[in-house]
């Protein structure tokens, strides 16, 4: 299986290091990034709903890696433990080092429809074109992002920050997002149709169904349809 791809779905994982600095208000850059991301919660919907083909995505700021304890020692260490002449400071030095990140990271992961091409370029280009200003708002404090000023440089930057995903689960089927949103819309509308037309005669039912069919336009993916990012009936 090709890396990052499962069928027509792509799993994009980005880790962008955030600069170790602070603003004039003495707030760390990484905290600003987190604050801006949290601000998205108070918007009507996530800006990412505007990015075409996004199945599901997630942002967070990674402060550090966490361990529950130091890694276990090897058999050799156990033998050393039995030797009475090894001083304590030597034992402590022999313990494996505790790992930490060198900086804090902006993590962005996204599952999207990539189609048969299996390329990430079109998706990132779509993201830049749709919400380029919001992207700059979030990534602006990351190392090297100052070189980004258009879709091409954004794609190049993101590829540098990309981690390979070898195994992932796609929570959506293989269709383009428009297909899935239309299918969801049709399912909801058909359920309503079934409730509203229960018990009618065959002739009435046929007539109403034709009207329903014309209204919902099953072949037309662009409209009427379920809006991306919409999560409840209205």
Partner 1 sequence: MTKQLDLLDIQGNVIRAYGRFGFPVARYVFLNITDDGIGRDFVGEITKKVTTSVEWGKKDDGEIARPKWTVNIAFTYQGMKELGIPRSSLVGFSPEFVSGMKERKDILGDDGVSSPEHWDPIWQGNRETRDKDVHIFVALNAQYGKDTDLLEESYQWLLGVVNQHKKGVVILGGHKGDDGTLMDYQDAKIVLDEHGMPTAKEHFGYTDGISDPVFEGVPYDADRINGRGKQMEDGSWAPLATGEFLLGHIDEAKEYPPAPAPILLSRNGTYMVYRKLHENVATFESYLDEHGKKYAGGKELLAAKFVGRWRDNGAPLTEAPDAASKAAFDAKYAAADDKGKDDLLSNFTYDDDMSGAKCPFSSHIRRINPRASLEMVSDPDKAGALKVSKNAFDTPGALSNRRRLLRRGLPYGQVKDRTKDDGNHGIIIMMVNADINRQFEFVQQQWINYGNDFRAGSDKEIILGNHSANEKFPSKAVLQVDPDSDEAPYILSKIPRFVETRGGDYFFIPSMTALRMIARGVIDPT
Determine, following the binding rule CB under 8 A, whether residue 234 of this chain makes contact with partner 1. Answer: yes
Q: How far, in Å, CA of 23 to CA of 27, rounded?
A: 5
Long-range contact pairs involving 67-73 (C-beta distance under 8 Å, separation at least 24): 67/98, 67/99, 70/95, 70/96, 70/98, 71/96
Determine, following the binding rule CB under 8 A, whether residue 171 of this chain makes contact with partner 1. Answer: no
Q: Which residues contact 75 (CB under 8 A, 6 or more apart)?
A: none
Determine, following the binding rule CB under 8 A, whether residue 223 of this chain makes contact with partner 1. Answer: no
Determine, following the binding rule CB under 8 A, whether residue 97 of this chain makes contact with partner 1. Answer: no
Supply the minimum distance, in Å, between the C-beta of residue 233 and partner 1: 6
Q: How far, in Å, CA of 189 to CA of 195, rounded?
A: 10
Determine, following the binding rule CB under 8 A, whether residue 88 of this chain makes contact with partner 1. Answer: no
Residue 112 near residue 53 (C-beta atoms within 8 A): yes
- Phi, psi of 182, rounded to the nearest 5 degrees: -65, -40
Residue closer to partner 1 by CB (options 27, 191) is 191
Q: How far, in Å, CA of 176 to CA of 99, rounded?
A: 41
Supply the minimum distance, in Å, between the C-beta of residue 195 and partner 1: 5
Supply the minimum distance, in Å, between the C-beta of residue 173 and partner 1: 15
Binders of partner 1 among residues 199 to 218 (CB under 8 A) are: 199
Query: In the set 1, 194, 203, 219, which binds partner 1 (CB under 8 A)?
Result: 194
For partner 1 (CB under 8 A), the number of binding residues is 6
Supply the minimum distance, in Å, between the C-beta of residue 189 and partner 1: 14
Here the tokens at position 228 are 């991306």
E-only strand ranges, 19-154: 54-62, 104-113
Residue closer to partner 1 by CB (options 100, 232) is 232
Number of Cβ within a 10 Å radius of residue 74: 11
Q: Quick one: which segment of 68-76, 86-94, 118-126, 193-201 binds partner 1 (CB under 8 A)?
A: 193-201
Which residues contact partner 1 by CB under 8 A?
Answer: 194-195, 198-199, 233-234
């Amino acid at each position: 299986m090709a890396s990052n791809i499962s069928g027509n779905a792509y799993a994009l994982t980005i880790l962008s290091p955030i600069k170790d600095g602070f603003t004039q208000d003495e707030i760390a850059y990484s905290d600003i990034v987190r604050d801006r991301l949290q601000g998205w919660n108070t918007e009507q919907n996530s800006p990412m709903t505007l990015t075409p083909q996004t199945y599901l995505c997630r942002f967070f700021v990674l402060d550090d890696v966490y361990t529950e304890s130091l890694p276990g020692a090897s058999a050799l260490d156990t033998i050393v433990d039995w030797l009475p002449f090894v001083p304590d400071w030597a034992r402590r030095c022999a313990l494996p080092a505790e790992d930490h990140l060198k900086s804090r990271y902006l993590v962005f992961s996204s599952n999207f429809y990539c189609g048969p091409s299996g390329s990430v370029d079109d998706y990132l280009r779509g993201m830049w074109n749709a919400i380029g200003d919001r992207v700059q708002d979030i990534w602006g404090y990351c190392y090297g992002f100052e070189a980004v000023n258009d879709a091409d440089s954004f794609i190049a930057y993101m590829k540098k920050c990309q981690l390979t995903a070898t195994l992932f689960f796609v929570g959506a089927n293989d269709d383009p997002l428009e297909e899935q949103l239309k299918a969801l819309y049709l399912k909801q509308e058909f359920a309503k149709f079934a409730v509203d037309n229960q018990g009618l005669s065959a002739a009435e039912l046929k007539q109403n169904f034709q009207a329903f069919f014309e209204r919902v336009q099953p072949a037309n993916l662009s409209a009427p349809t379920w809006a991306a990012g919409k999560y409840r009936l209205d």
